[in-house]
Structure 1
Amino acid sequence: MKLLDEIADVGRDARRGGWSRHLGDDAETELREWFTEAAARRGLDVETDGNLNVWAWWGEPGPDAVVTGSHLDSVPGGGAYDGPLGVVSALAALDALSARGVVPTRPVAVVVFAEEEGGRFGVPCLGARLLTGSLDPDRARGLRDPDGVTLAEALGHRAAGLGSDPERLARVGCFVELHVEQGRALAPRGDALAVGSTIVAHGRWRLSFTGRADHAGTTRLADRRDPMVPAAATVLAARAAMARHGDEARATVGRLHATPGGTNVVPSRVDLWLDARGPLPQALLDDVAAAAHAAAADEGCMVEVRAESVSGAVTLDPGLADTLATITGAGRLPTAAGHDAGVLAAHVPTGMLHVRNPTGVSHAPDEHAEDADAEAGVRALADVLEELCR
């Protein structure tokens, strides 16, 4: 918890509440510097790969490494635990192993993945996707933030290094990510910890409605082609689709942007972003998109639907999950939240440990973990790493 306290004021968002830490901004840059210094204090060798993921090595980097870690970026106005808890717990677990006198026989690394939340450039798990080759680097360079700045412009000369890194990926023998629980399943069970089992399929799509800009005071109803109207209908359609597709379906519009954005101007364009998750996110999208096209036609507008990221359902490595469960005594927990672990799972044995969140709130300032539960997570992660390092 002292490690979390060291970064508690970095990226505090006075407007939204909570924390805003995005790739390349001042807060995220400060966090990278903090992690580098914290790792150096522990005698770890730090390097940043071509995709801006930061690696801190205990021992000589090499094949069959045991890797743990998470991310330090956040959603806009997010909580203090999503991502950072996994990073500080990894450092604290290495402290515990050193105190036990453990000398690993396999390389060990703590990794901080870049832009996991996609809070600035829209694509989640950006660093992990680039590392594994599941995101084309040219497409990544062309991603734009809300101010229109491309990733290539934000990174400058560093953008040339983006792309698949099979040599680095081949070093990873297994990856274990500790993460605060996102939801409230553990508190009713009375459990401080759980072992991750699955990650549901999810995707993000941008729906762009185009109409005609005009004067808010002088334009008659019959003369309007207002893209805000079908955009509003689409928000309601997402809620209705979620209800129709069952208890496991999730459809959310959390971001909407009007152009030109004047209070007294009928917009010419409205962009909104749909987050869909569940057993069949494509079916959710199809349902919402059909409603969007119908509403756009009624208003004399056009709509374009583009995928920004789509991830299938992930089953985390069963053998590693069994190992984690045996060592920790924790039960299993599926999640509808995306993680870097889910991206790596297609390439290396990957597991997760979840730490109880008594509020159940995530991606918001009320996200929380009790000190005792966080300490239990560190002990469990240290036990797991000690076993895997043999």
Structure 2
Amino acid sequence: MIEVTPQAVDDMMDWLSGISDAEGPGTTRLLYSPSWIDAQEQLKEKFETLGFNCEFDAVGNLFATLKGSEQPEEVIASGSHVDTVTKGGRLDGQLGIMAAYMAIEKLIEKNGQPKKSLQIISMAEEEGSRFPYVFWGSKNIFGLANKADVENIEDANGVGFEEAMHAAGFDYLEGAPKFNKIAAFLELHIEQGNYLEKEGKQVGVVNAIVGQKRYDVVLKGQANHAGTTLMEYRKDTVECFARIVTQGIDKAREEGNPLVLTFGRVEPKPNTVNVVPGETLFSIDCRHTDQAVLNRFTAELEADMRSLAEEMGIEIDIDNWMDEAPVPMDTHLVQTLEEVCKENDLNYQVMHSGAGHDAQIFAPRVPTAMIFVPSIDGISHNPAEHTEAKDIVPGIQALAGAFEKLAY
């Protein structure tokens, strides 16, 4: 097993998280911004110093490749996204890039050149923080991104996507992707939940990423005077919303893990103290690792909402605007990670990911798996996001062990 010191982890993450467009707390490194360009260029220099051959693709994904001695065409890749949310933490995304670097650095010291090629990918974008588009980096690796989806979008300051991309020195992908010949992909990430911490586990071996259904729902009743409209004559959309939430959450608890149901944004109208709310808009997020269960539960949820609304004489409009299927990880790679953990006495747990990751773009096209390390209190997308360096080390060791089995 390789030896990585917690101090080395802290030093690496302090360096990369310090490349930011704004003063702290937190790191702000948005797609095609000055700090994003700086980070990619500095990573390229660091990788080249270790002997990697580095290239950018058309849109700005950085590929650092250590050529294999016997089967160089077989590429074992790892990495994550280099962009952050506004005032994000020091680990989300960038930890996966630096974990791969530290693991390979130690393997070179231990074993020299790999038989198969090892590759680190610093992906251009995943978060959707600057522009309303996600997975721009990983989608372009496989030629999945559409020009029409981004050519007319702007950031909060009115800067167009194309303008920012061209100013950073990049452009749309034309023709076939150059770097999509990957034999296996591994992504290390903080859990962004508190399961590993609560269970006292060092490493999470991810076997699936949840599917998600998201809804916008509008209830239309009748706005009326709060003092003169008797309770039995009301068409109160907040009351209807409250009954929908209570019934839905109760059923979600009955369904049990790993299903999760969230009622998020709520906008009652006219949203004033002395008027019965005649209209309420709200959002729903439902997730599960099994598509059939997700479909069944949400179909029941929709039917229940319609039934409650009809009972109260309220109109309802349900817009299911996101429907992402669950993504299983590669069985062989999951088994490989389990073997590494057992062989090195790492306390691990096979688990699912409740959040989306670049790995979900890779997994339908390339054998893929993920490694989680614990998150303190599950906090992420926040300057308070933190994992002690000593608790990151086992994840890097698991990643290095998988590299060793796959590439050496």
TM-score class, shorter-chain normalisation, is: 0.7 to 0.9
Q: How many angstroms apart in 1 are the aligned matches of 2:43 and 2:336?
A: 29
Find the counterpart in structure 2 of residue 113 from structure 1: 123
Give the TM-score of the pair, scaled to structure 1.
Answer: 0.75
| Mapped contact 1:130–1:164 kept (Cα < 8 A) | no
Q: Which amino acid aligns with 1:8?
A: S
Identity %: 26
2:146 paired with 1:132: no
Find the counterpart in structure 1 of residue 324 from structure 2: 310
* Structure 1: gaps of 5 or more residues: 212-227, 258-269
Find the counterpart in structure 2 of residue 45 from structure 1: 53
Deviations 1:337-373 (A, max 9, x none): 1111121111111111111224222233332222112
Q: How many angstroms apart in 1 are the aligned matches of 2:246 and 2:87?
A: 24
1:348 aligned residue (347, 366, 377): 366
Provide closer, same or farther for how the CA distance between residues 159 and 11 of structure 1 changes in structure 2, counting only shifts above 3 A: closer
Aligned residue for 2:201, secondary structure, equals coil
Q: Which amino acid aligns with 2:341?
A: T
1:151-300 maps to which residues of 2 (within 5 A)? 151-156=161-166, 160-162=171-173, 165-169=176-180, 171-200=181-210, 202-203=211-212, 205=214, 207=216, 246-252=256-262, 275-278=285-288, 279=290
Deviations 1:300-332 (A, max 9, x none): 999794736734332x11111111111222534
Q: How many angstroms apart in 1 are the aligned matches of 2:123 and 2:139?
A: 10
1:34 deviates by 2.5
Q: Which moved more, 1:375-384 or 1:149-158?
A: 149-158
| Mapped contact 1:82–1:362 kept (Cα < 8 A) | yes
Aligned length: 382
Find the counterpart in structure 1 of residue 44 from structure 2: 36
Find the counterpart in structure 2 of residue 10 from structure 1: 19
1:381 deviates by 1.8
Q: Which amino acid aligns with 1:345?
A: A
1:232 deviates by 11
| Mapped contact 1:296–1:303 kept (Cα < 8 A) | no
Deviations 1:123-147 (A, max 9, x none): 4322212322444342243444445
Aligned residue for 1:172, secondary structure, equals coil
Q: How many angstroms apart in 1 are the aligned matches of 2:135 and 2:384?
A: 23
Q: How many angstroms apart in 1 are the aligned matches of 2:43 and 2:373?
A: 21
Q: Which moved more, 1:246-255 or 1:45-54?
A: 246-255
Q: How many angstroms apart in 1 are the aligned matches of 2:22 and 2:249?
A: 29
Provide closer, same or farther for how the CA distance between residues 243 and 186 of structure 1 changes in structure 2, counting only shifts above 3 A: closer
Q: How many angstroms apart in 2 are the aligned matches of 1:115 and 1:127?
A: 5
Find the counterpart in structure 1 of residue 380 from structure 2: 362
Aligned residue for 1:78, secondary structure, equals coil
1:79 aligned residue (64, 69, 89): 89
1:383 deviates by 2.2
1:282 deviates by 5.8
Q: How many angstroms apart in 1 are the aligned matches of 2:160 and 2:282?
A: 19
| Mapped contact 1:327–1:383 kept (Cα < 8 A) | yes
Greater C-alpha Rg: 2
Aligned residue for 1:73, secondary structure, equals coil
Find the counterpart in structure 2 of residue 379 from structure 1: 397
Deviations 1:187-235 (A, max 9, x none): 34332112211111x34757498x9xxxxxxxxxxxxxxxx99999999
1:6 deviates by 0.5
Provide closer, same or farther for how the CA distance between residues 247 and 104 of structure 1 changes in structure 2, counting only shifts above 3 A: closer
Q: How many angstroms apart in 1 are the aligned matches of 2:387 and 2:117?
A: 30
Provide closer, same or farther for how the CA distance between residues 126 and 319 of structure 1 changes in structure 2, counting only shifts above 3 A: same
Q: How many angstroms apart in 2 are the aligned matches of 1:57 and 1:99?
A: 17
Provide closer, same or farther for how the CA distance between residues 29 and 167 of structure 1 changes in structure 2, counting only shifts above 3 A: closer
Give the TM-score of the pair, scaled to structure 2.
Answer: 0.72
Find the counterpart in structure 2 of residue 221 from structure 1: none
Find the counterpart in structure 2 of residue 94 from structure 1: 104
Q: Which amino acid aligns with 1:6?
A: W
